């Protein structure tokens, strides 16, 4: 199994290290050829507009969409979640449209409003410690999107911050900044499912 991390901008090195902690080879992805060699992709946090612009420049938008439509699992975190989504509130930028969700950028506030929280995650026995840095939240999800965790936003409403749609996982937080690799392990589980189906 080879897990790629989109290495155009953001904290991709931390994700490669997290993948390695699970005994899996992590590959930095910068070209369509890199993308063709992996079994799953992680889109890291960073600056979503920059990630989208560079992905367009490097010819990665359509290849990522094609691999996703063929069943390749993807995990997007923070800016990666924004890039995966179909829409962003009041902001136009390159997006993959693979996650049927509308996101709000910097929804919790500025850098000084960054925070940490223990999330109850569907399917996990113990809470997941989450680091939110200039984090987005999900404003609206489509019918095929399963909400795995939510938090109360500054508007007093519950907003999804961890979701799954098929083999797409998206988190508003930074799992790579903790020592909890369970979200990455969930991605590996989706890879195993995909490989089983391909070998049938």
Active-site pick, 78, 104, 139, 184: 78
Residue 77 pLDDT > 70, yes or no? Answer: yes
47 classed as catalytic: no
- Whether 173 has a pLDDT exceeding 80, the answer reads yes
Catalytic residue among 14, 104, 139, 176: 176
pLDDT for 113: 63
Question: According to the model, what pLDDT value does residue 105 have?
Answer: 87
pLDDT single digits (tens) 20-51: 999 999 999 999 999 999 999 999 998 888 99
Please enumerate in sequence order all residues whose Cβ is within 8 A of that of 180, keeping only pairs 6 or more positions apart, or say none: 128, 129
pLDDT tens column, 117-148: 999 999 999 999 999 998 899 999 999 999 99
176 given a catalytic annotation: yes
Name the helix (H) or strand (E) containing 98: none
pLDDT at position 200, please?
Answer: 64
Per the annotation, the verdict on 174 as an active-site residue is: yes
Which of 14, 15, 104, 174 does the annotation list as catalytic?
A: 174
191 has a pLDDT exceeding 70: yes
Q: What is the CATH number of domain 2-198?
A: 3.40.50.880
Q: Give CA–CA dist 38/64, Å, rounded.
A: 11
């Amino acid at each position: 199994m080879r897990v790629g991390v989109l290495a155009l901008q953001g904290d991709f090195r931390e994700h490669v290290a997290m993948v390695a902690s699970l005994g899996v080879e992590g590959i930095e992805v910068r070209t369509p050829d890199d993308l063709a060699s992996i079994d799953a992709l992680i889109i890291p946090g960073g600056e979503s507009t920059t990630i989208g612009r560079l992905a367009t420049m490097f010819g990665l938008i359509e290849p990522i969409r094609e691999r996703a439509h063929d069943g390749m699992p993807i995990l997007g975190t923070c800016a990666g979640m924004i890039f995966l989504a179909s829409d962003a509130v009041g902001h136009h930028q390159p997006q993959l449209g693979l996650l049927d969700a509308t996101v709000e950028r910097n929804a919790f506030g500025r850098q000084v409003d960054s925070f940490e929280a223990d999330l109850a995650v569907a399917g996990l026995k113990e809470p997941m410690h989450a680091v939110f840095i200039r984090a987005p939240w999900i404003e609206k999800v489509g019918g095929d999107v399963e909400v795995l965790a939510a938090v109360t936003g500054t508007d007093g409403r519950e907003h999804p911050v961890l979701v799954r749609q098929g083999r797409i996982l998206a988190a508003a937080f930074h799992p790579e900044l903790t020592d909890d690799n369970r979200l990455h392990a969930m991605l590996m589980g989706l890879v195993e499912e995909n490989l089983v189906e391909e070998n049938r």
